[in-house]
Amino acid sequence: MDKDFLIANLRNIPDFPKPGIQFKDVSTLYKNAACLKEMIAELVKIYRDKGITKVVGIESRGFVLGAMLASELNAGFVMCRKPGKLPGETRQASYEKEYGVDTIEIHTDAIEEGDIVLIHDDLLATGGSMKAALELVNSFHPKQVFVNFLIELRMEGLKGREALGENTDLTTLLTLHE
């Protein structure tokens, strides 16, 4: 995987959504077909022999590659969404993020005990949304859970990896230090 190529195509938007936040905009990676192919190929390489039966994508950027990856792995795709967006019965968890509090939920019939689950999202910063997603997924007692991000931010004050715990099987495609 050409990490320099991917990083060169990643857009940084200063002071979004509030002053002091350096927002990493992955939409520039998604709109570039070569970047998209590179990321999917690498993710398939990492997870193809893990027996993944469900891929959970976290709203909304986790849906893009999560659904593509599920298709490539011959797995089902599960959406982890903000409240009120899923039509059936749900479980929910709340979390703090750098700039507020949010809640995510998942359908109560989304995952079974025998499933091997990969939870995917675009960016690891504080780890709040993924920690909530892990809590939701683990409440189904799946056989195994993997966690993946496109980007991990390693900066002062951001301890996302630590928030998820040392026993979390976590991979990232890119690690950014600033």
Catalytic residue among 48, 96, 98, 162: 98
Q: How many angstroms separate the CA atoms of 10 and 23, rounded?
A: 10
Active site annotation includes 61? yes
Active site annotation includes 98? yes
Which residues, 6 or more positions from 30, have their beta carbon under 8 angstroms from its beta carbon? 36, 64, 65
- 77 neighbors 67 (Cβ within 8 angstroms): yes
Query: What is the DSSP secondary structure assignment for residue 126, as one 8-state letter?
Result: S
* DSSP element (H, E) containing 173: strand 169-177
Catalytic residue among 59, 61, 105, 152: 61
Tell me which residues are annotated as active site: 61, 98
